Amino acid sequence: MSDFLKKVDWFSILLYALLVFIGWLNIYSASFTGELGSVLNAETYYGKQLVFIIVSCVLIVLILSVEAKFYERFSSIIYLVSLLSLLGLYVFGKNVNGATSWYAIGGMTLQPSEFAKAATALALAKFLSDIQTDIQNPKDLFRAFIIISLPALLIIPQPDPGSALVYAAFFFVLYREGLHPMYLLVGLFVVVLFVSTLLYGTIWVFLGCALLLGLVYYFSKKKKKKVSIPQLTIILIIATAFSYSVNFIYNSVFEQRHRDRFSLWLRLEDDPLKLNQIRKTIGYNTYQSESAIGSGGFMGKGFLEGTRTKGNFVPEQHTDYIFSTVGEEWGFVGTSAVILLFSMLILRLLFLAERQKSAFSRIYGYSVASIIFFHFAINVGMVIGLLPTVGIPLPFFSYGGSGLLGFTVLLFIFLKLDANRINEWM
């Protein structure tokens, strides 16, 4: 055991503990009503969150004490159980705020999608690390896609598209394990096409693509690589067709609220009055959260001194918008510190993943880093108004038992694997 304590990555644990602690402080502030009571008061968010933190500690001990091989061996079963739990929601699920994403057990609720991420990561790691699997082989690649998308497909109709979006994080893992860069390029191209169609319209997208492909043809000819004109023409036609269908989908399939989110994000509305109107209605959350963060200034207003936090101006401030509390009360110092802590943790996990001797541990570690990064980037991007509104929590920070426990499990399975890396040779 003392051997284990020496090998486990204390740096990651320290970062984890810091994030959880700072997160709890901010939940305390965001849900503080002015009456000083016991911090364990189960009536309040901060009281409940403290209970979840204690449960997490117990869970950490459990995870770390299980034999490392267990996770690899039982990954398929864990994955299946996880899928079943997601399926079961359609029968036993409890509807909260319009989404059937929870099981109600006693007074507690449990959100299986928070744990499915870890299960999917285990299954994917198991599959990709198999000596027989070749990611360059389309058949295997297809299987990997299935593993990733099954839980996502079960989550989307709950409906919880935000949580499903997180599964896109696994593309980083596939790429790391040898996915052809073309897939990423195509993915990037699709996103760029989508956004630029909304911004500039199909005609400009067509002209832009033609110019780009013309340049590709010119340079490929110089380097004497073969790119035929018909190929490029087909790409151009597909791109234009896609751009056209984006217009159609945006105007006919999307609902007004979706359109509003995009027009807010991309500033599609030219009329400043209308834009301001959207900012204060559809964009109310973002508007309030930006104002709260902005009002923090350099040093912030101080713990429990955030006026907008106290006045509950930012909706969902203890969950998805918890970062705005950091912004208001701790200022630029606090926000950049949190961003640095997250970046350090994710980079540390990448470093740990790369030093793994076994492919399973490496792939799993990479998945953990990717998932945490995805959550962090999308959540903070949304709160500071850089990305459209997507309802996913900030790992370790946001209020919520399932979220905290899910991320704890995700992270500590990897830390256990990492602590065990030498033993693998024995």
Partner 1 sequence: MRKLLLASIIIIIAIVYIGRLSYLQLLDNTNKNPLNDTAINAVYDYPERGHIYDRNGELLVANQPSYDVMVIPREVKPLDTLEFCALLNITKEEFEKKYKKARIYSPRLPSVFVPQLSKKEYAILQEKMRKYEGFYIQKRSLRHYMTHVGANVLGYISEVNNRDLKKYSYYQSGELIGRQGVEEEYENVLRGRKGVKFIQKDRFNRVIGPYKDGVFDTLPVPGKDIVLTLDNELQKYGEKLMIHKRGGIVALDPKTGEILALVSAPSYDPDLLVGRKRSKNYTELYYDSIAKPLYDRGLNAMYPPGSPFKTVNALIGLQEGVIDESTTFTCYHGYRYGRNSFMGCHCPSGTRNNLRRGIEASCNAYFANTYRRIIEKYPTSAEGMNAWEKHVESFGLGNYLGYDLPTGQSGKIPDADYYNSVYGERRWFATNTLSNAIGQGEVLSTPIQLANLTATIANRGYYYTPHIIKEIENDTIPNKFLEKHQTTIDTKNFEPVVQGMYDVYNKGTASLLRIPGINIAGKTGTAENFTKIEGERVQLTDHSIFVAFAPVEDPKIAIAVFVENGYWGSRWAGRIASLMIEKYVKGEITRTDMENYLLKGSLEEEYAKPLSGESFRINDGKTFVKWPEKEVIKQPTKKPLP
User: Which one of 112, 162, 296, 400 is in contact with partner 1 (CB under 8 A)?
Assistant: 296
Question: What dihedral angle (degrees, nearest 10) is formed by the CA atoms of 371, 375, 378, 380?
Answer: -140
Tell me the closest approach of the beta carbon of residue 149 to partner 1, in angstroms: 20
DSSP 235-288: HHHHHHHHHHHHHHIIIIIS-HHHHHHHHHHTT----HHHHHHHHHTTTHHHHH
Tokens 């990997």 correspond to 144
Q: Does 172 bind partner 1 (CB under 8 A)?
A: yes
- Structure token digits, residue 48: 């409940």
Q: Which of 187, 340, 355, 423 binds partner 1 (CB under 8 A)?
A: 340
Site string for partner 1, 10-49 (x = CB under 8 A): ------------------------x---------------
Residues 6+ apart with CB under 8 A from 89: 100, 101, 102, 103, 112, 158
State residue 100 phi and psi, 5-degree precision. Answer: -95, 75
User: Interface with partner 1 by CB under 8 A: which range of 10-18, 42-50, 263-271, 304-312?
Assistant: 304-312
**Is 380 an interacting residue with respect to partner 1 (CB under 8 A)?**
yes
Among 101, 335, 361, 389, binds partner 1 (CB under 8 A): 335
The residue from 384, 404, 409, 415 that contacts partner 1 (CB under 8 A) is 384
Q: Applying CB under 8 A, which of residues 122, 350, 352, 392 lies at the interface with partner 1?
A: 350
The per-residue DSSP string of 69-122 comes to: HHHHHTHHHHHHHHHHHHHHHHHH-EEETTEEEEEEETTEEE-HHHHHHHHHHH
Task: CB nearer to partner 1: give 117 or 176.
Answer: 176
Of the two residues 207 and 340, which places its CB atom closer to partner 1 in the complex?
340
List the x/- string, 94-113, binding to partner 1 by CB under 8 A: --------------------
Residues in the chain: 426
Single residue of 157, 347, 355, 423 touching partner 1 by CB under 8 A = 347
> What count of Cα atoms within 13 Å lies in the side-chain half-sphere of residue 156?
8
Quote the tokens at residue 337. Answer: 């510190």
Beta strand pairing call for 99-105 and 108-110: antiparallel
Interface residues toward partner 1, by CB under 8 A: 34, 172, 175-176, 178, 290-298, 305, 307-308, 310-313, 327, 331-332, 335-336, 339-340, 342-343, 346-347, 350, 354, 366, 369-370, 373, 377, 380-381, 384-386
